[in-house]
């Protein structure tokens, strides 16, 4: 039982579940009639891609995590590196097998996501801002994957999975910047150079605030053009957009560790609520 729990911690089980959920939302926003086989396998593939990426991340950052995140299972020595390698390989192979069982469009996206994650973990996450952009793009691809599991042509029609994919890119990019500001001292201790170190934390937070402002405008567009109704408007504008915009302004004015932690958590909650809004739209 302990090993199972440690594996769940290694792969970030709940983050992987959120990735699965995003695939289903993309599928839901694409299908005419309910279809389950393709989205089920595509969501399993997405779960395993996310799990593989988290394993590789922890494998490459064991020494750094002993300083910054000593509670992680590899840093604690609760699981061996060899075991984590096996988990990563099994997850990657499982993701590809599941994707091939759906169609070649899903297989292409899953293969691309694996390549991006490997490149990110080995090199690109050390490149300021580029690593953040890659994570944001990968988050958007999960919704696209759900659409591709239904119908490749319909995936690119509006309204459809392109809408949550675009929202996810902006929301994740804002959250990534906040996380880098929050961890700026930890990153400096281990020699990692991030975007907030280059332009200073306050300027990075201003960038995040501008990006979120763009996201707010984008989330209102589906209401203005009549794609989504009042339930979507209430949840998105009044429960997600305005409170988070106010929170980010407060953080920009007072970027304390506590406020930054609240901000990153609030954005994660916003992601979940956004999914609910799109499902009910």
Q: Which residues of the chain have pLDDT under 70?
A: none
* pTM: predicted TM-score of the whole model, two decimal places: 0.92
Q: Please answer whether residues 48 and 91 qualify as being in contact, where contact means their C-beta atoms are separated by less than 8 angstroms.
A: yes
Q: How many residues does the chain have?
A: 281
The pLDDT of residue 123 is 85
**SS3 sequence of 232-244:** HHHHHHHHHHHHH
The pLDDT of residue 188 is 81
Tens digit of each residue's pLDDT (9 = 90 or more) over 133-181: 999 999 999 999 999 999 999 999 998 999 999 999 999 999 999 999 9
Tens digit of each residue's pLDDT (9 = 90 or more) over 78-109: 888 899 899 999 999 999 999 999 999 999 99
The pLDDT of residue 43 is 97
Q: Please answer whether residues 109 and 23 qualify as being in contact, where contact means their C-beta atoms are separated by less than 8 angstroms.
A: no
Instruction: List b or e across 152-189, with b for residues whose CB sees 16 or more CB atoms inside 10 angstroms.
Output: eeebeeebbbbbbbbbbbbbbbbbbbbbbbbbbeebee
């Amino acid at each position: 039982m302990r090993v199972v729990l440690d594996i769940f911690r290694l792969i970030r089980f709940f983050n992987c579940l959120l990735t699965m959920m995003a695939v289903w939302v993309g599928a839901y926003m694409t299908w005419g009639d309910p279809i389950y086989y393709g989205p089920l396998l595509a969501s399993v593939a997405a779960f395993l891609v996310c799990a593989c990426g988290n394993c590789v991340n922890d494998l490459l950052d064991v020494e750094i995590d002993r300083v910054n995140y000593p509670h992680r299972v590899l840093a604690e020595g609760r699981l061996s590196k060899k075991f984590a390698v096996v988990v990563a390989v099994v997850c990657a192979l499982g993701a590809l097998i599941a994707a091939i069982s759906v169609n070649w469009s899903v297989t292409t996206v899953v293969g691309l996501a694996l390549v991006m994650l490997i490149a990110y973990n080995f090199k690109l996450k050390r490149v300021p801002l580029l690593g953040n952009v890659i994570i944001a793009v990968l988050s958007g691809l999960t919704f696209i994957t759900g659409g591709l599991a239904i119908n490749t042509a319909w995936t690119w029609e509006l309204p459809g999975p392109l809408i949550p994919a675009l929202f996810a890119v902006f929301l994740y990019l804002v959250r990534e910047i906040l996380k880098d500001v929050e961890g700026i001292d930890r990153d400096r201790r281990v020699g990692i150079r991030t975007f907030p170190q280059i332009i200073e934390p306050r300027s990075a937070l201003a960038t995040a605030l501008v990006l979120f402002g763009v996201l707010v405008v984008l989330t209102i567009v589906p209401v203005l053009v009549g794609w989504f109704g009042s339930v979507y408007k209430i949840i998105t504008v009044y429960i997600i957009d305005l409170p988070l915009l106010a929170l980010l302004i407060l953080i920009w004015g007072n970027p304390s560790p506590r406020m930054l932690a609240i901000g990153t958590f609030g954005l994660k909650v916003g992601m979940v609520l956004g999914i609910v809004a799109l499902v009910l739209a």
